[in-house]
Structure 1
Amino acid sequence: MTGNRWSDLDRPPLNADALRHALLRPGGLWTAVDVVEATGSTNSDLVERAAAGADEGAVLVAEEQTAGRGRLERSWTAPARSGLFFSVLLRPGAGVPVERWGWLPLLAGVAAATALARSAGVDTGLKWPNDLLVTVKGEERKAGGILAERAGADGSAVVLGMGINVTLHEDELPVPTAGSLVLAGARGTDRDPLLRALLRSLEQWYGDWRRAGGDAAASGLLPAYAAGCATLGRTVRAELPGGAQVSGEAVAVDGDGRLVLATADGVQQPVGAGDIVHLR
């Protein structure tokens, strides 16, 4: 039908049956894959399911989010079927101490960067703690973000959400600093194989991390994150909860996933939460 926003041939819908066939297997992490045309927020929906006792491994994908959320209550909007907008439900269990759960958004970043390099040929950098960066016309731009939320009636679950701009063109970008895979020269923008690659990569990294008891160094996550982190070695400003700020060189990510800043007065200060601004 002419004018139907779901009939854009350049942005075909995801094939839910094919995704289930490819991803659901005995002994695997993923236990359910649901694709909906539109919802407010896949994270909010899965948080509700977690509270109702949903199993680990539930995946919810939306062709369009009308109230997508990022960190610090920021909104995330994009045209229908122009990207990948999905959330997964994880239950790390007693084998992983809660203090190590802060690694999950960083783990998701490594999984995404690994998958996008292999499946789309796009070099993806990681801005601490949860942004995915690509290069467009020689400029570093944000093409995706990650949001982790505690969930479940007893707080025993984590809902991990990811939004990635795939086919957004320049005139569709929400801000000039945004980017997309197609603008970064992706060799393929078919969202079905991209999503399969992302979820398989996430399953692998999560499995390794959980088998190591959440030890980021032993699982290989810490060195992988450090190698791909575009924040390290940069002078940055950390805008902390409550309004405080601290500036310095980002010199390391510690064992708890915190960004370590070397300040001008010689102090090495770990930052566990906040907004990071790359100064140069």
Structure 2
Amino acid sequence: MTSSDVPGNRWSDLERPPLNASALRRALVRPESLWTSLDVVTTTGSTNSDLAGRAAGLGEGAVLVAEEQTAGRGRLDRTWSAPARSGIFFSVLLRPGPRVPAERWGWLPLLTGVAVAAGLSRSAGVDTSLKWPNDLLVTVPGDSGALRTGEAASGAERKAGGILAERTADGAVVVGVGVNVSLRAEELPVPTAGSLALAGAATTDRDPLLRAVLRSLEQWYVEWRAADGDPAASRLQEAYAAGCSTLGRTVRAELPGDTSLTGEAVAVDGDGRLVLATADGVQPVGAGDIVHLRPV
């Protein structure tokens, strides 16, 4: 009997089998592919931190996947936690320069959001949307545990994933992605979280989900880079707007310095900023926390 077979061991959940690293490499790491290496580790603090620390010795396209992250990070220094093997947690190393001007690199987390949403929609059959700038939302029906927060039985938008992009010391970008796949209602870290399983996914097999997401990310990144990072020419700006549930809603933007703006989100501009129509006029927001306000 191995340690993973011991009753009660957190690695022994038969509904959450390990990823098949060799099969993933065969499917994704090819001579003509963006992806040049793919490693799967049992557990780590943060795939972003690990990959950024090794960036100087790696070429573009390195992928690091973890079965479990113990110190996963999101935007604004938030933590990301989930049971082992319950999601897809990975980081990729990208080197968009010098072809793509540095001022366009801010589109990378938005590009990743479009790619992940498209990949999951195709592979899991779950309708996903994007909350500006980098949250992945799914609709969780009220009868799957959501009612404990008083939500309607028709369901509610829940955060099932997030994206974090960081510059490395040698001028590359590490983009990290975390998606809750098989989390059950009682395992949710916060009441506003969700998972693909709770949203009625056709499959929670992480191998095809990860393959679909990385293939989608490769397609969008290659097209964006070929267009020199132009979000209009690469169709990225249009695709992001089409999938962004923030647009058309009244929102509150909580900005650095303990200030805030309230208005209708009307567009995402060429720099990837969220444009708000406020009582004082149109104002772009480049950084901050966005709160979707419920209609009165």
TM-score > 0.5, shorter chain as reference: yes
Deviation (angstroms), 1:27: 2.1
What are the residue-to-residue correspondences of 1:2-151 with 2, within 5 Å?
Answer: 2-50=7-55, 52-137=56-141, 138-151=155-168
Mapped to 2, the partners of 1:244 and 1:5 lie a distance apart of 43
Per mean C-alpha deviation after superposition, the further-off stretch among 237-246 and 174-183 is: 237-246
Give 1:272's aligned residue.
286
Q: Which amino acid aligns with 2:292?
A: H
> 1:47 touches 1:151 (CA, 8 Å); kept in 2?
yes
1:215-240 deviations in Å (ceiling 9; x for gaps): 01100111100000000000001111
Match of 1:204 among 199, 219, 225: 219
CA distance in 2, matches of 1:36, 1:95: 32
Q: Distance in 1 between matches of 2:138 and 2:190?
A: 15
Amino acid at match of 1:16: A
Task: For 1:247 and 1:213, locate their aligned partners in 2 and report how far apart those are by CA, in whole Å.
Answer: 34
Distance across 2 between alignment mates of 1:206 and 1:87: 14
Paired residue secondary structure (2:57) = coil
Provide the rounded CA distance (Å) in 2 between the counterparts of 1:80 and 1:231: 31
Once the two structures are TM-superposed, the CA of residue 264 in structure 1 deviates from its matched residue by 1.3
- Output the CA distance in 1 between the equivalents of 2:63 and 2:47: 9
Q: Say if 1:53 and 1:152, in contact at 8 Å, map to a contact too.
A: no
TM-score by length of structure 2 reads 0.92
Supply the AA of the counterpart residue of 1:123. Answer: D
CA drift of 1:117 comes to: 0.8
Kindly state the Cα deviation for residue 5 of structure 1 after the two structures are TM-superposed: 1.9
Match runs of 1:228-239 below 5 Å: 228-239=243-254
Partner SS, residue 92 of structure 2:
strand
RMSD of Structure 2 on Structure 1 (CA): 0.7
Letter in 2 for 1:205: W
Measure how far apart 1:244 and its partner are.
Answer: 1.3
* Aligned partner of residue 257 in structure 1, secondary structure: coil
- The answer to whether the aligner puts 1:215 opposite 2:230 as a matched pair is yes
- How far residue 53 of structure 1 moved from its aligned partner, in angstroms, is 3.0
- Inter-partner Cα distance in structure 2 for 1:49 and 1:27: 23
Number of the residue aligned with 2:276: 261
Following TM superposition, where does structure 1 have runs of at least 4 consecutive aligned residues deviating by more than 4 angstroms? none
Tell me the SS of whatever aligns to 2:54: helix
| 2:162 is aligned with 1:158 | no
Counterpart Cα distance in 1 of 2:88 and 2:258: 32
**Which SS does the other structure have where 2:121 is aligned?**
helix
- TM-score normalised by L of structure 1: 0.97
C-alpha distance in structure 2 between counterparts of 1:194 and 1:166, whole Å = 9
Task: After TM superposition, give the deviation of residue 271 of structure 1 in Å.
Answer: 0.5
**CA–CA distance in structure 2, aligned partners of residues 28 and 93 of structure 1:** 18
Alignment: residue pair count? 276
Cα offset, 1:8, TM superposition: 1.2
Give the Cα–Cα distance (whole angstroms) in 1 for the partners of residues 257 and 214 of structure 2. 35
Q: Percent identity?
A: 78
Q: Provide the C-alpha distance between the structure 1 equivalents of 2:211 and 2:220, rounded to a whole number of angstroms.
A: 14
**Deviations 1:194-219, CA, capped at 9 Å, x for gaps:** 00000000000000000000001100
1:3 CA drift (Å): 2.5
1:242: how far off? 1.6
User: For 1:273 and 1:54, how far apart are their aligned partners in 2?
Assistant: 30
Alpha-carbon distance, 1:124 to partner = 0.3
Say which SS state the counterpart of residue 241 (structure 2) adopts: helix
Partner secondary structure for residue 6 of structure 1 = coil
Residue 4 of structure 1, CA deviation: 2.5
Distance in 2 (CA, whole Å) between partners of 1:105 and 1:242 is 23
CA distance in 2, matches of 1:166, 1:3: 21
Structure 1 gap segments, 5+ residues each: none
